[in-house]
Structure 1
Amino acid sequence: MYGQTFYVTNGGTYGSSWIHADLQEADEQCCVNRVAKIMRQHKLKAQIVYKRSHIKGGKASRIVDNLLARKFNPAAPNQSWVSDISYMGTYEGFLYVATGMDLFSRRIMGWPMDNIWINTLL
């Protein structure tokens, strides 16, 4: 049986849809439901491969003072600014984008970009 061969050679990780695709490439004609039925009869189930997460703990981030005290409606322009930094993965590496917004006018005042994260972006 070709299906069992594909199942074994791929470490038991192939389900009926992948085995069906391999069978079609080998010019074997059958439908995916037939492959699933045969797999059930032979008690073959795809083993789910989980990726291990590698979260490394580090030092706690520095906690800064809450200068705004949740007062997000200043009375005049240029009294309160907020900023954020984000990054995007590209083929050439990461691109870091920082934004600064005046809370009075709610306008973005600037968005510098760089390929390295540095404190001067903000």
Structure 2
Amino acid sequence: MTAAITTMYEENYHVYGARKMWKELGRAGHQVARCTVERLMRAEGLKGVQRAKSPRTTRPRAETERPADLVERKFVAERPNQLWVADITYIRTYAGWVYAAFI
């Protein structure tokens, strides 16, 4: 069973964890318990790819000071350079987190 797990692990680009590996083995006709797949993968040092946590961008609290709404939600300017609005967002990529700012 270890040979089958190792082969499937390599065929799937070293991405599958125990749960996906167990399902893939079942589709291939191998009847094996999920805990057995977990144990065998751990013994071989095989790990699936783990998703990164989302960054915690804000920590709202009642006592935290909020910036004033200087435009009172009216985002229309009568002339150029009268009103500037900015925002920032976080984008997850394979290389890590990318921060995009818009003005």
Return the TM-score normalized by structure 1: 0.43
* 2:42 aligned residue (32, 40, 43): 40
Q: In the alignment, is the contact (CA less than 8 A) between 1:13 and 1:49 conserved in 2?
A: no
* 2:4 aligned residue (2, 5, 9): 2
Q: What is the letter of the counterpart of residue 57 of structure 1?
A: A
Per-residue CA shift, 1:38-97, capped at 9, x if unaligned? 0011011112255425442121xxxxxxxxxxxxxxxxxxxxxxxxxxxxxxxxxxxxxx
* Higher helix proportion (structure 1 or 2): 2
Q: Which runs of 5+ in 2 are unaligned?
A: 53-91
1:56 aligns with 100
CA RMSD, aligned part only? Answer: 1.7
Greater RCO (Cα-Cα under 8 Å, separation 6 or more): 2
1:29 aligns with 31
- Aligned partners of 1:54 and 1:43: how far apart in 2? 31
- Aligned partners of 2:51 and 2:12: how far apart in 1? 12
Larger Rg: 1
SS at match of 2:42: helix
Q: Which runs of 5+ in 1 are unaligned?
A: 60-122
Taking only the aligned residue pairs, the percentage that are identical comes to 22
Task: Describe how 1:1-122 pairs up with structure 2 within 5 A.
Answer: 1-50=3-52, 51-52=92-93, 53-59=97-103
- Aligned partners of 1:43 and 1:56: how far apart in 2? 37
Return the TM-score normalized by structure 2: 0.50
* Higher strand proportion (structure 1 or 2): 1
SS at match of 1:45: coil
Q: How many residues align?
A: 59
- Aligned partners of 2:99 and 2:12: how far apart in 1? 29
